Amino acid sequence: MGPDLAQFGIYANEAPNAMLTHPETTTLPLILEQHQRIAFIGNTLLDRAQNFGHLEASIQLAHPNKELVIRNFAWSADEIDLQPRPMNFATVEQHLAREQSDVVFAAFGFNESFEGLEALDDFQERLSRGLLNFKARAFNGTAGPKIILISPTANENTAKVPAADLNNSRLAVYTKAMELVAERMQVGFANVYEATQKAMADMNSDLTINGVHLNEAGYRVFADALFEAVFGKAAPQPNEELLDAIVDKNNQYFRRYRPLNTYYYTGARNKSYGYLDFLPAMRNLEIMTANRDRRIWAIAQGNSFGDQPVDDSNVPPLDEVAESRGANEWMTPADELNAFRVDPRFEVNLFASEEEFPEIACPITMRWDAKGRLWVSCSTTYPHVYPGHEPNDKIVILEDTDWDGKADKSSVWADDLNIPLSFELYKDGIIVSEEPHLSYIWDSDGDGKQDSREYLYTGFGCEDSHHALHDFIWTPDGDLLFRESIFHNSQVETPYGPVRAKNSAWFRYSPASEGLITFGSYPNTNPWGVTFSDWGHHVASHPIFASAFHATNPAFPEQHPRASGIPAYSGVCGHEFVDFPMWPEELYGGFIKVRYKPTNRVEIHKWVEKEDHFEEEYVSDLIFSENLSFIPVDLKYGPRGAMYVSDWYNPVKGHAQYALRDPRRDRASGRIWRIVPKGAQLQDPPKISGATIDQLLDNLRCDEYRYRYWSKRELRDKRDPNKVVAALDAWVAKLDSSDSRFRHHQVEALWLYRSLGASRPELLEELLSCENHNARAAAVRQLRYTKGAEGVPFNPGLADNGLSLKKATELLKKAAGDMNGIVRMEAANAASYLGNKDSLLAILEILKYPRQEHLNFAIRCALGSEALIRHWQGSDKEINKSQASTLENFYENWDKGNSKKGILLDGGATESGFDRQKDLFTIEISTVPERMLFTVERFTVKSGQPIRLLFTNPDATQHNLVIIEPGMNKVVGMAANEMAKDPSGVEKQFIPNVPGILHYTGLIDPNDAQVLRFNAPDTPGVYPYICTYPGHWFMMKGEMLVE
């Protein structure tokens, strides 16, 4: 990497900080000088402002000849001294120094205010320290910056969120405190709280999207108020051309400042391809941003350009990237189908492909609507958007109008999305992942095309575009569940306070209240795939039985521990339980799963109940493909009982293994496969679109999960909730208690009540004490949603089950003593949501009963949650010494037993004295969690020397260690990759049968270890060692130097 490109990398460990200087005093009205550079920093208030442009436009119009440069460094939920960032991402101060900022607009106070009035003094001290740090830095190289501190805006009550009632009294106090700090620190202060509160007093006003975050009308009010406070006069009003130019400039700079895939730009994987994947792009984005600065200045000076694009002729082409390892074979759809090994009980046909419908290139997520149409998200932008291109990803609707098993109609519903990894249908559109945003896009005029977009929340992690927000699914009780995986840092500002998660977590979003919570944060890999069982157990890939991972999180940025001994996998993408009657009877109750690494297949599994969990049991393959370009990434039942597989068909697979800009990435192919049992008579689906409320309620009696799923979605989104609740009351009253599915029907009703914002505590209590343990477990889950629960920070409106906290805690204690382990596991989870002392004591009851790994893990996470740990640890613990001792013993013993490393440090047996040899060389090599690296990349031994090598795997993925002859690493590595085409590759530990392999471990499970004992070769040389799990060898490598 030459210096010409190196200058465009901005890294925390390298970027300079501004020199210290004498602090400047800022007085208002502010006077700006020619060519000054202005920076926006702080929270979502200024982060979202870049999407509208009003504040920047007013500043530019008021100074048309000053040629001001404005850059936005704000970040959702930032606080004055809490600013989580991706690994090695430069600080705000480092960015201000690079941009040579003269003036800083800083918006803080909103997120800090959720600490309450009792934290006001501490906040003022934090704010003072932060402002002093900024004042004392010469970001422009000569003098300290002028600083304008911006108060929070007022909140307004909306139909969903009583934000004004929740927050305004507290925000008013924090605003006054900020004004006092600003005066003391001699910085400018803009009180926009009072101006926005006045505007919101108009009952006809609608200035926010959720009571907190401003919409376009709100940003006009905000810009006018801030401009007048800072410059002492009324703000000039911009035209649409200027606003559009500013938004365009902000988009280009946002991609420079906050690019996707930052783990490959600033983080641990930037050495392989980062410099060519990113630095030329950063250079070009800076040029394009400067070009748009000039366009903005010209418009502010009175010029107009109409539809003429910005002149980017000075932008050089991107440097070429290296093609590393070979790509997989590309096949036509017909040849790919012929390469499938299909279970003889089934038939597979091509439902749609790029040949008939080129718009479905690169399909990811599939969802069926109430009309029996298949919606597919497609991303040719993935894995990254580069300079000169705009995101143009699609939502495509496929229809099989004659029911012949092949799509015959395609409609592009949306064509401007940015890597829509996952989505779910909602009302007149979809909620979709557009990292860093959770977006709602919809069709406002009913013409079959998306025309409206709202970023519901922003601030989700962008470290790796493969597993940013994904796995969208509606929970049985009506919330949107999704997750992000390793590397990611998320901090999201909500009306109920900031929500933060680090390095993988689940999220739960409630559209009815705009509530967002995070839970189940623990170190994992990059898994895909999520569904719910018949009784509402959460099923995923990492872990399989995800219900055991629902405890609320520890205090940020901590995570729950890894879970040794609990099945969990990456490389799989979807699950669907078999519940259609025309499928083979022996498969009923199990599920189908798609896998894309290390082998490419569609798998059949049983779903087996154990004491405290369910677990999968692999049966066979429904489809196995030797063509590794087959990448199944989603599967769903269709309305008639056929199953559909989304095939991201691509010869290039992986971020770490190939450059993001590798030209061999296929952006034209995409297939949807259809699976049906041979000779099956597919069934007619129940009516959903246009059905009456009573018809939709009767669909809840269906055995087929998807019929119930689609019907509940229709009832939530398309029907009057008051009428649905009334009809549901009548439906429940008529249920037949002799029906074998009676308890399940009641549970479905309980879920639907909650999704409609209603509660029936008498039904909940009946189910909590009924004879069916699955129903009891489902009912215990509903105890989480108790009004006044203390476990979820700021209690973000996750509905109300109708119970008092006292009553819910009493019922929890009873569930803690249930004879069924799964019910007790749900009680442990629920304790972390209720979060009070008595719910902690319920866990003591659980400890009296037998436990297996899943229940133990649920207890460990509940005890370690921020909600409960305060009750039993530290000087302020609220339980007696004996109770605390019992919990401490469990906690410590679990942590000790979770890792096998301590037991294996001696490597087991001494192999008949091998370890007693005088010149024995001992070494421990581990995997680096989440980074596909060995901890030791080179070690030196003598020829013939005895070696004892302890290989430990603290990672969440299987790995091995294979020592090979000099120069053979590529031969062995590529042969191992080919083993992904062999169904028995895993059984063979992915050790290829080729010359050159000297010594090897087996595939080592997470938190496991193995000892190798061998003598070093007699011939001196450099002997590579690699991991031969397919796709790993290129990254996971080291050298044994024999002297």
Dist CA 446 CA 464 (whole Å): 35
Long-range contacts of 13-17 (CB under 8 A, 24+ apart): 13/88, 15/90, 15/94, 15/95, 15/97, 15/98, 16/94, 16/97, 17/91, 17/93, 17/94, 17/97, 17/137
pLDDT for residue 798: 66
Instruction: Flag whether pLDDT at 902 surpasses 80.
Output: no
Average pLDDT estimate for 941-966: 92
Average pLDDT estimate for 207-215: 98
By DSSP bridging, strand 671-677 and strand 643-647 are antiparallel
pLDDT for residue 794: 62
Burial class (CB in 10 A: 0-12, 13-18, 19+), 226: buried
Q: Coil, strand, or helix at residue 4?
A: helix
pLDDT for residue 77: 98
Average pLDDT estimate for 750-764: 97
Torsion angle of the four alpha carbons 739, 740, 743, 745, in this order, in degrees rounded to the nearest 10: -60
pLDDT for residue 914: 83
CATH pick for 901-1042 out of 3.30.70.580, 1.20.210.10, 3.30.479.30, 2.60.40.420: 2.60.40.420
Q: CATH 2.60.40.420 region(s) of the chain?
A: 901-1042
Dist CA 254 CA 270 (whole Å): 20
Helices (runs of H) and strands (runs of E) counted in the chain: 26, 39
On average, the pLDDT of the chain sits at: 94
Question: pLDDT tens-digit profile of 955-966?
Answer: 878 999 999 999
Burial class (CB in 10 A: 0-12, 13-18, 19+), 322: exposed
DSSP assignment string, 962-983 = EEE-TT-HHHHHHHHHHGGGST
Dist CA 395 CA 405 (whole Å): 21
The radius of gyration of the chain from alpha carbons, rounded to an integer in Å, stands at: 30
Question: pLDDT tens-digit profile of 361-384?
Answer: 999 999 999 999 999 999 999 999
Report angle CA 854, 855, 860 to the nearest 5 degrees: 100
Q: CATH 3.40.50.1110 region(s) of the chain?
A: 3-300
DSSP assignment string, 646-696 = EE---S---SSSS-TT-TTS-SS--EEEEEEETT--PPPPPP-TT--HHHH
**Which of 571-575, 765-769, 894-898, 902-906 comes out lowest in average pLDDT?**
902-906
Dist CA 365 CA 434 (whole Å): 13
Model-level pTM? 0.92
Instruction: Flag whether pLDDT at 909 surpasses 50.
Output: no
- Short-list 389, 390, 393, CA closest to 380: 393
| Rama region for 718: left / alpha / beta (φ>0; ψ in -120 to 50; rest) | alpha
Residues 6+ apart with CB under 8 A from 307: none
pLDDT for residue 905: 40
pLDDT for residue 910: 47
Burial class (CB in 10 A: 0-12, 13-18, 19+), 486: buried
Give the other-Cβ count within 10 Å of 698's Cβ.
15
Burial class (CB in 10 A: 0-12, 13-18, 19+), 694: exposed
pLDDT for residue 797: 62
Instruction: Flag whether pLDDT at 900 surpasses 80.
Output: no
3-state secondary structure 719-777: CCHHHHHHHHHHHHHCCCCCCCCHHHHHHHHHHHHHHCCCCCHHHHHHHHCCCCHHHHH
DSSP assignment string, 199-263 = HHTSTT---BSSSSSB-HHHHHHHHHHHHHHHHSSPPPPPPHHHHHHHHHHHHHHHHHHS-S-HH
pLDDT for residue 825: 98
By DSSP bridging, strand 614-625 and strand 600-609 are antiparallel
Average pLDDT estimate for 394-416: 98
**Which of 267-271, 724-728, 1033-1037 comes out lowest in average pLDDT?**
267-271
Question: pLDDT tens-digit profile of 497-555?
Answer: 999 999 999 999 999 999 999 999 998 888 899 999 999 999 999 999 999 999 999 99
Grade residue 903 by pLDDT with cuts at 50, 70 and 90.
very low
Dist CA 119 CA 484 (whole Å): 31
pLDDT for residue 906: 41
Read off the amino acid at residue 319.
D
Average pLDDT estimate for 74-101: 97
Burial class (CB in 10 A: 0-12, 13-18, 19+), 116: exposed
Question: pLDDT tens-digit profile of 862-888?
Answer: 999 999 999 999 777 888 889 999 999
**Which of 286-295, 438-447, 638-647, 923-932 comes out lowest in average pLDDT?**
923-932
At the fourth CATH level, the homologous superfamily of domain 3-300 is SGNH hydrolase (3.40.50.1110)
Structure token pair of residue 302:
């009175």
Question: pLDDT tens-digit profile of 297-348?
Answer: 999 999 999 999 999 999 999 988 877 677 889 999 999 999 999 999 999 9
Grade residue 904 by pLDDT with cuts at 50, 70 and 90.
very low
Average pLDDT estimate for 968-981: 91
Dist CA 475 CA 597 (whole Å): 27
pLDDT for residue 710: 99
- Reported as type and span, the H/E element at residue 940 is strand 938-941
| Bond preceding residue 383 cis, omega within 30 of 0 | yes
**Which of 119-123, 272-276, 1037-1041 comes out lowest in average pLDDT?**
272-276
- Short-list 305, 399, 293, CA closest to 351: 399
Question: pLDDT tens-digit profile of 516-528?
Answer: 999 999 988 888 9
Average pLDDT estimate for 133-153: 98
End-to-end CA distance of the chain: 33
Structure token pair of residue 838:
């008595």
pLDDT for residue 899: 59
Instruction: Flag whether pLDDT at 985 surpasses 90.
Output: no
pLDDT for residue 276: 80
pLDDT for residue 225: 98
